[in-house]
């Protein structure tokens, strides 16, 4: 589906209840829209609510209040099973700590989203190999995660995020655990996914430098959007 | 998601913790092995005992003269017990059968003619007692029984040499004897026994008989009582029933006889017919009647008692299965806690609750099935050894094995469900944040 807006958020509030009187408001009336095919970054200090926002965007979590439409689907009306389907079909997650399934080969990790989508064995193996080749990991297909370096793990994770050809890729500080050289490599993969595959990408980052490479930079502070500007290049 | 993937996932995670898997298996292995072992020994025992009873002539019908058990008599009997040496009625209650109470040869041949389609053979016998056959320094212990020609057929006596007693031997009261192969070996060695004379010593008396046949003595596999030296084993020596009666001077007629029915005869129906046939003869006899019964019903009763017994023992053994199941549940709970993050990742990638649940239940079933298979093999081994020790032929039953596999699987599902469901219902965010 190619609706005008990939993400449409209105007055999103997220509160955590830690004990009876302690109500922690992490997101405070967030309004956000991201066009299909856009590459945006979210910046902000630690604890400002970036990951919480990403979890809501990625259908891992539900907002306490507000309205959220992802790729034309109103998320407020969906049950857990439907949210699983949305995550499986429309969202590709890339995490700071890679989150590969342990004791499972790179190939099997990339196959996982397709497995849950019910793709046949031969098809998913073929596609997983193709994706690993795209991120330059075809030599390491049979390796276990603990046999891979950080940069290699992140490339496998990106291949896995692409498995079901999602509408949107959500990357939460994907270069945070990498050195600048491998971080650069990972960034280049995102750029090519954006340009060549036309993916919508939301990148959360600490690095001002990397944020400048994206089309739009959204600043978050204490759960509120404090600024939106275009990337400098 | 596909089953193969679940299986390889489960096997993978079981391999990752080999020692833990092994210890978990142990509970199921012990439980299944003891159930199978007990069931195997139990069914072997049942088969052997029923087989032994069958060998004694379970297919046969026995008719015997028995004291009437009227209600009046019972009362007298009870009173008699309280007042020993009491009233005259007690004599009628404890009456000994006289010659007129016995079943006569005429009654038996009439009976036989009346049911030609049902009766294959009738066996008559008169036990004479034990004696010894001596020939110089050689001797053989015997137990002498007078029989008719039907006895051999009804009791499946297998003649290996010569012939069995014929009706002509009985009517002529010939001094002929059928001896066991063991007997022939100890008295005649390799010499031909048929046609030879033997001297039977019983108390003061010495009887001279001619051997007309040799039968195969069966070796019972149930050994009862104290062991006896091979050459002292007492075997049966059969003589014509008419000769036996003259030996111990007993009255004519019989207290009991055995009927072999033809193949395909409805035993229960024939029992009723035979009973009413003899009831007519004994209608005016106040003290005695002929009671007709078969061993089949007794066998069924014994069989079901033995089955219930082994089932009861197996139930007790099954308690260890529950312990094994709880062990599996415990290990699965530890395992899903350790793998919380993995569960979070899977959920983030789109795994539904059901997929996670199936993954962990599969793991539980696999443990139980592996444990079940090892337990079945071990249990059959135990059963064979146990049957061997008890002296029964072992029959591991396919039904028991299939049942054990089914039970293993059910234990896997039952004890795996709670942990698997706990994993399935984890909140994806919290699972992902788990350190
Ligand atoms: N599940 C939770 N329960 C309670 N508080 C939480 C939970 N998740 C996040 N928070 C709190 O919300 C705030 C924002 O967290 P997060 O979104 O992770 O920030 P960021 O990713 O920008 O560093 C933090 O103060 C954090 O402690
Ligand atoms: Mg964060």
pLDDT at B230: 72
Among candidate residues B313, B354, B356, the one with its CA nearest the CA of residue B335: B356
Q: Which positions 97-126 of A are in contact with B (Cβ < 8 Å)?
A: 99-104, 112-113, 115-118, 121
Let me know if residue B148 belongs to a domain: yes
Q: A114: domain CATH number?
A: 3.40.50.300
Q: Is the predicted pLDDT of residue B375 greater than 60, yes or no?
A: yes
Q: Is the CB of A48 under 6 A from ligand 1?
A: yes
* CA–CA dist A213, A230 (Å, integer): 10
Classify residue A217 as exposed, middle or buried by CB count within 10 Å of its CB (0-12, 13-18, 19+): buried
**A223 C-alpha to center of ligand 1: Å?**
10
Q: Is the predicted pLDDT of residue B281 greater than 90, yes or no?
A: no
Span B251-262, pLDDT tens digits: 788 888 999 888
Q: Is the predicted pLDDT of residue B89 greater than 60, yes or no?
A: no
Give the nearest partner residue to B350 out of A103, A104, A116, using CB atoms. Answer: A116
Domain match, B276 and B339 both: no
Query: Dihedrals φ, ψ of B133, to 5°?
Result: -105, 125
Contact B347, B428 (CB under 8 A): yes
pLDDT at B264: 80
Q: Is the predicted pLDDT of residue A228 greater than 70, yes or no?
A: yes
Let me know if residue A127 belongs to a domain: yes
Span B310-350, pLDDT tens digits: 888 888 888 888 999 999 999 999 999 999 999 999 999 99
Let me know if residue A15 belongs to a domain: no
Tell me which of B347 and B86 has the higher pLDDT: B347
Span A187-197, pLDDT tens digits: 999 999 999 99
Domain match, B252 and B230 both: yes
pLDDT at B426: 96
pLDDT at B373: 96
SS3 B98: coil
Residue B357: give the domain boundaries: 3-52+303-433
Q: Which of B64-78, B100-114, B204-218, B290-304 has the lowest mean pLDDT?
A: B64-78
For chain A, give the mean pLDDT.
94
> Does the reported pTM lie above 0.90?
no
Let me know if residue A212 belongs to a domain: yes
pLDDT at B55: 67
* CA–CA dist B35, B29 (Å, integer): 10
* CA–CA dist B106, A83 (Å, integer): 95
Domain match, B280 and B333 both: no
Q: Is the predicted pLDDT of residue A141 greater than 60, yes or no?
A: yes
Let me know if residue B78 belongs to a domain: no
Is A3 within 8 Å of chain B by CB?
no
Residues of B in contact with A142 (CB under 8 A): none
Contact at CB, B342 and A101, closer than 8 angstroms: yes
Span B229-279, pLDDT tens digits: 777 788 899 999 888 888 877 778 888 899 988 888 888 888 889 999 999
Let me know if residue A20 belongs to a domain: no
Let me know if residue A51 belongs to a domain: yes
Let me know if residue B212 belongs to a domain: yes
Contact B240, B174 (CB under 8 A): yes
CA-based nearest distance B370→chain A, Å: 22
Q: How confident is the model at residue B225 (pLDDT cuts 50, 70, 90)?
A: low
Q: Which of A106-120, A149-163, B16-30, B61-75 has the lowest mean pLDDT?
A: B61-75
Domain match, B135 and B243 both: yes
Tell me which of A8 and B292 has the higher pLDDT: A8
pLDDT at B227: 61
Let me know if residue A200 belongs to a domain: yes
Q: Give the nearest ligand 1 atom to B429 CA.
A: 1
For chain B, give the mean pLDDT.
85
Domain match, B320 and B214 both: no
Domain match, B289 and B148 both: yes
pLDDT at B226: 58
Sheet hosting strand B60-67, strand order edge to edge? B119-123, B256-261, B60-67, B288-294
Last residue of a domain, one of B233, B261, B294: B294
Tell me which of A137 and B100 has the higher pLDDT: A137
pLDDT at B156: 83
Q: What is the mean pLDDT of residues B168-190?
A: 90
Last residue of a domain, one of B277, B294, B311: B294
Residue A217: give the domain boundaries: 37-62+78-230
Contact at CB, A84 and B345, closer than 8 angstroms: no
Among candidate residues A94, A65, A48, A67, the one with its CA nearest the CA of residue A5: A67
Let me know if residue B77 belongs to a domain: no
pLDDT at B286: 85
Let me know if residue B345 belongs to a domain: yes
- Residue B206's contacts (CB-CB under 8 Å, 6 or more residues apart) are B199, B200
Last residue of a domain, one of B294, B311, B326: B294
Domain match, B24 and B45 both: yes
Tell me which of B152 and B75 has the higher pLDDT: B152
Let me know if residue A11 belongs to a domain: no
Q: What is the mean pLDDT of residues B81-92?
A: 43
Domain match, B283 and B312 both: no
Interface test with B, best of A14, A85, A88, A125 (most B CBs within 10 A): A88
Instruction: Give the ipTM of the model, two decimals please.
Output: 0.96
pLDDT at B46: 85
pLDDT at A43: 96
* CA–CA dist B400, B403 (Å, integer): 5
Contact at CB, A60 and B348, closer than 8 angstroms: yes
* CA–CA dist B361, B340 (Å, integer): 16
Domain match, B259 and B157 both: yes
Q: How confident is the model at residue B70 (pLDDT cuts 50, 70, 90)?
A: low
- Burial code (b: 16+ CB inside 10 Å, e: under 16) for B10-40 equals beebbeeeeeebeebbebbbbbbbbbbbbbb
Domain match, B130 and B11 both: no
Let me know if residue A57 belongs to a domain: yes
Q: How confident is the model at residue B84 (pLDDT cuts 50, 70, 90)?
A: very low
- Residue A44's contacts (CB-CB under 8 Å, 6 or more residues apart) are A50, A219, A220, A221
SS3 B213: strand
Is A80 within 8 Å of chain B by CB?
yes
Q: In angstroms, what is the C-alpha Rg of chain A?
A: 17
Span B183-194, pLDDT tens digits: 998 898 889 999
Residue corresponding to tokens 């590709």? A92
Q: Which helix (H) or strand (E) holds A69?
A: strand A65-70
Span B291-312, pLDDT tens digits: 888 877 777 788 888 889 888 8
Q: What is the mean pLDDT of residues B386-412?
A: 87
Span A88-129, pLDDT tens digits: 999 999 999 999 999 999 999 999 999 999 999 999 999 999
Q: Give the chain A residue nearest B351 (alpha carbons).
A: A116
pLDDT at A187: 95
Q: How many domains does chain A have?
A: 1
Span A45-99, pLDDT tens digits: 999 999 999 999 999 999 999 999 999 999 999 999 999 999 999 999 999 999 9
Domain match, B226 and B141 both: yes
Q: Is the predicted pLDDT of residue B195 greater than 80, yes or no?
A: yes
Let me know if residue B149 belongs to a domain: yes
Contact B145, B157 (CB under 8 A): no
Q: How many domains does chain B have?
A: 2
Q: How confident is the model at residue B1 (pLDDT cuts 50, 70, 90)?
A: low
Residue corresponding to tokens 């029933």? B241
Q: Give the nearest ligand 1 atom to A50 CA.
A: 22
Domain match, B265 and B346 both: no
Q: How confident is the model at residue B91 (pLDDT cuts 50, 70, 90)?
A: very low
The CB-based long-range contact list for B104-112 (8 Å cut-off, 24+ gap) reads B104/B252, B104/B253, B105/B252, B105/B253, B107/B278, B107/B281, B108/B254, B108/B257, B111/B274, B111/B277, B111/B278
Q: Is the predicted pLDDT of residue B54 greater than 80, yes or no?
A: no
> CB B116: neighbour CB atoms within 10 A?
9
Tell me which of B84 and A52 has the higher pLDDT: A52
């Amino acid at each position: 589906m190619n609706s005008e807006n990939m993400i449409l958020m209105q007055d999103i509030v997220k509160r955590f209840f830690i004990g009876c009187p302690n109500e922690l408001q992490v997101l405070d009336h967030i309004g956000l829209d991201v066009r299909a095919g856009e590459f945006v970054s979210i910046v902000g200090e630690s604890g400002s609510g970036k990951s919480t926002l990403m979890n809501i965007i990625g259908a891992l979590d539900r907002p306490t209040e507000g309205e959220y439409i992802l790729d034309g689907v109103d998320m407020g009306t969906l049950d857990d099973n439907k949210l699983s389907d949305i995550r499986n079909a429309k969202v590709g997650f890339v995490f700071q700590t890679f989150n590969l399934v342990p004791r499972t080969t790179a190939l099997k990790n990339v196959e996982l989203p397709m497995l849950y989508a019910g793709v046949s064995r031969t098809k998913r193996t073929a596609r997983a190999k193709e994706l690993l080749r795209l991120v330059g990991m075809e030599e390491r297909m049979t390796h276990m995660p603990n046999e891979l370096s950080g940069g290699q793990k992140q490339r496998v994770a990106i291949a896995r995020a692409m498995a079901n050809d999602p509408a949107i890729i959500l990357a939460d500080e994907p270069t945070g655990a990498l050195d600048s050289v491998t971080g650069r490599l990972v960034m280049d993969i995102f750029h090519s996914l954006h340009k060549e595959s036309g993916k919508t990408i939301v990148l959360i980052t600490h690095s001002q430098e990397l944020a400048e490479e994206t089309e739009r930079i959204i600043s978050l502070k204490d759960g509120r959007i404090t600024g939106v500007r275009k990337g400098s290049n | 998601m596909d089953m193969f993937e679940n299986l390889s996932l489960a096997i993978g995670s079981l391999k990752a913790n080999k020692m833990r898997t092994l210890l978990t298996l142990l509970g199921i292995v012990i439980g299944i092995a003891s159930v199978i072992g007990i069931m195997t020994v139990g069914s072997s025992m049942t088969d052997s005992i029923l087989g032994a009873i069958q060998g004694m002539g379970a297919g046969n019908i026995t008719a015997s003269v028995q004291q009437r058990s009227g209600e009046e008599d019972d009362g007298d009997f009870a009173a008699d017990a309280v007042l020993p040496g009491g009233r005259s009625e007690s004599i009628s209650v404890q009456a000994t059968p006289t010659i007129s109470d016995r079943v006569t040869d005429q009654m038996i041949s009439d009976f036989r003619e009346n049911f030609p389609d049902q009766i294959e053979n009738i066996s008559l016998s008169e036990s004479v007692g034990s004696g010894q056959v001596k020939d110089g320094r050689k001797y053989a212990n015997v137990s002498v029984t007078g029989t008719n020609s039907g006895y051999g057929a009804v009791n499946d006596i297998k003649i290996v040499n010569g012939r069995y007693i014929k009706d002509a031997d009985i009517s002529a009261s010939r001094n002929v004897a059928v001896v066991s192969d063991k007997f022939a070996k100890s008295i005649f060695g390799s010499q031909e026994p048929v046609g030879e004379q033997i001297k039977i010593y019983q108390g003061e008396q010495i009887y001279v008989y001619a051997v007309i046949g040799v039968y195969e003595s069966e070796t019972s596999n149930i050994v009862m009582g104290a062991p006896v030296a091979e050459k002292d084993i007492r075997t049966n020596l059969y003589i014509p029933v008419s000769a036996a009666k003259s030996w111990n001077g007993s009255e004519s007629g019989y207290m009991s006889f055995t009927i072999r029915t033809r193949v395909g005869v409805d035993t229960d129906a024939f029992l009723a017919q035979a009973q009413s046939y003899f009831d007519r003869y004994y209608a005016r006899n106040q003290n005695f009647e002929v009671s007709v019964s078969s061993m089949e019903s007794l066998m069924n009763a014994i069989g079901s008692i033995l089955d219930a017994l082994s089932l009861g023992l197996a139930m007790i053994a099954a308690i260890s299965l529950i312990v094994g199941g709880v062990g599996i549940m415990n290990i699965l709970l530890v395992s899903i806690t350790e793998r919380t993050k993995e569960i979070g990742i899977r959920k983030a990638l789109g795994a539904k609750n059901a997929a996670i649940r199936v993954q962990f239940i599969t793991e539980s079933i696999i443990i139980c099935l592996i444990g079940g298979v090892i337990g079945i093999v071990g249990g059959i081994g135990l059963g064979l050894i146990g049957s061997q020790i008890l002296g029964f032929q072992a029959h591991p039953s396919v039904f028991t094995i299939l049942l054990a596999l089914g039970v293993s699987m059910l234990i896997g599902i039952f004890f795996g469900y709670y942990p698997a469901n706990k994993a399935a219902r984890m909140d994806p965010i919290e699972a992902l944040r788990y350190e």
